[in-house]
Amino acid sequence: MSHQFELFEPINSADHLLGNEHASVVIVEYGDFECPSCKQAASAVQQLLNRFADEVLFAYRHFPLIEVHGHALGAAQAAECAAAQGRFWEMHALLFENQTHLTRKSLDRYAKQIGLDMIRYAAEMDDEIYRQRVLEHLESGRRSGVRATPGFFINGKMHDVSFGLHSLLDATKAALEFRQASTG
């Protein structure tokens, strides 16, 4: 029996968003910065956004597989520190580019590289002020049925990418065609 999971928490202004906020197709990813499949997904998502720039809204949420990836939670918190200073996507890219180097020392280096206020960043990391936000993302992913990363939702419905990320592109095209057919 096939079970169709739906996005538990709709996107909101607190999400990390790229694309057209009025797009007819909304893609949400639950990801882990230490997950090799998420690194591959990041480039696939970039290609998708390049191809459908005005037609898609993309949201990234944290789903650190803490039991498997020892640095994922810290990396997610560093990304949130960057987000607080308007630099989430720069940090997002650096974390995936350097995903085998996610120790605190490395995270600090990336923060400096993208020009964060290092005093603020260090205080926020030391106090783990974004830990709860990351854990809330994780919980909303679990409630949506996410069990592994990357976990994708297209217009609120879970999309399985276990057979390859090309299916994400195909499903996005199909969703766009469906929306165009139903509105035109």
Q: 127-150: per-residue pLDDT in tens? A: 999 999 999 999 999 999 999 999
Q: For residue 75, give the amino acid letter.
A: A
* Spatial CA neighbour of 72 closest among 46, 96, 42: 96
CATH of span 16-183: 3.40.30.10
Give yes or no for residue 42 having a pLDDT over 60. Answer: yes
**Strand intervals (E) in the chain:** 16-19, 25-31, 56-62, 151-154, 157-159
Q: What is the Cα–Cα distance from 19 to 49, expressed in whole angstroms?
A: 7
Q: What are 76-103's pLDDT values in tens digits?
A: 999 999 999 999 999 999 999 999 999 9
pTM for this model (two decimals)? 0.94
| pLDDT tens profile 73-83 | 999 999 999 99
Eight-class DSSP state of 41: H
Determine the pLDDT at residue 3. Answer: 52
Residue 139, token pair as written in the block: 């919980």
Evaluate whether 66 touches 134 at the Cβ level (below 8 Å). Answer: no
**What are the residue boundaries of the structural domains of the chain, listed by start?**
16-183
Residue 155 contacts residue 175 (beta carbons within 8 Å): yes
Q: CA distances (Å), 131 to each of 27, 63, 100, 149, in order? A: 24, 12, 21, 19
Q: Strands, DSSP E only, in 15-168?
A: 16-19, 25-31, 56-62, 151-154, 157-159
* CA–CA distance, 89 with 79 (Å, rounded to integer): 8
Query: Which residue's structure tokens are 């968003």?
Result: 17
Q: Give the Cα separation of 136 and 119 in Å (integer).
A: 26
* Phi, psi angles (nearest 5°) of residue 30: -100, 115
89 Cβ contact partners less than 8 Å away, ≥ 6 residues apart: 16, 18
